[in-house]
A and B are shown apart, each in its own frame.
Chain A
């Protein structure tokens, strides 16, 4: 069965600190996709990144970076020099390969990040 675990329920940091959000996943598939979404207080989920199971390259986008390690089944997300606007709930999600024909996305329980000024 597929599962996504975000063990950190809530994290508080002071502005300009770096913070890492953990995501551990379980799947029997060899082909799968991992995602991160941001949900600010306004409610909409904002797509941040997609990573497929064959691409273990780390990615950096501005202050955001992602570390994908298949050996530990982890897909962690780091925010460098955090800002108050980064305050939100962050969800990690897993999807099976398109060839499976299923459209299910398994979401973790989310990590609430509070960045204090």
Chain B
């Protein structure tokens, strides 16, 4: 069992839909991350929250909107996605910079 929980595990949506990915951790970690991973590629950093504040946005298109309601939760709001956005979306948390990241199982997203 992973200590970082992501829901849903699978998501299929049309290009006009709005959906959200959720991530939760109860390890007291102060940093939380969203990664996008395409098949046979390494994870690609999207966003980092540190102490509930957005610390890094890797020039991600505005159709992806992150939110950190509290220190345990991280959301990724999706709107008007494109077929090329189909990927595995991974959430991770860490005690801080330089500490091991703990990853969730990911959400497999398919855009029709």
Binding site for B on A (CB under 8 A): 32-33, 35, 37, 42-47, 50, 52, 91, 95-98, 100-105, 107-110, 112
In angstroms, Cα B50 to Cα A48, docked, is 23
Smallest CB separation, A113 vs chain B (Å): 14
Say whether A43 contacts B45, CB under 8 Å. no
- Chain B residues near A95 (CB, 8 Å)? 97-98
Query: Is B8 on the interface with A (CB-CB < 8 A)?
Result: no
Contact flag A105-B101 (CB < 8 Å), given A91-B42, A98-B96 = yes
If A35-B101, A103-B56 are given as contacts, then 13 extra A-B residue pairs at C-beta distance below 8 Å, sorted by A number, are A35-B100, A43-B88, A43-B106, A43-B108, A45-B90, A47-B100, A50-B99, A91-B43, A95-B97, A102-B56, A103-B48, A104-B48, A112-B40
**Known contacts A43-B88, A44-B2, A44-B105, A107 near B42 by CB under 8 Å:** yes
Chain B residues within an 8 Å CB radius of A97: 97-98
Q: How large is the interface on B (under 10, 10 to 19, 20 to 34, 35 or more residues)?
A: 20 to 34
Give the residues in chain B near A45, CB-CB below 8 Å: 43, 90, 92, 101, 103
Contact B100 A102 (CB under 8 A): no
List the interface of chain B (C-beta within 8 A of A).
2, 31, 33, 40-43, 45, 48, 50, 55-56, 88, 90, 92, 94, 96-106, 108
Neighbouring B residues of A33 by C-beta, 8 Å: 98
A71 to B50, CA, bound (A): 34
Chain A residues near B94 (CB-CB < 8 A): 103
CA distance A104 to B45 in the complex (A): 8
Residues of A close to B48: CB separation below 8 A: 103-104
A100 to chain B, nearest CB (A): 7
Residues of chain B contacted by A50 (CB below 8 angstroms): 99-100
Selected from B40, B42, B97, the residue in CB contact (under 8 A) with A100 is B97
Whole-angstrom distance between the alpha carbons of A42 and B9 in the complex? 11
Query: Which of B55, B98, B106 is A98 in contact with, Cβ under 8 Å?
Result: B98
The docked-state distance in angstroms from the alpha carbon of A97 to that of B106 is 27
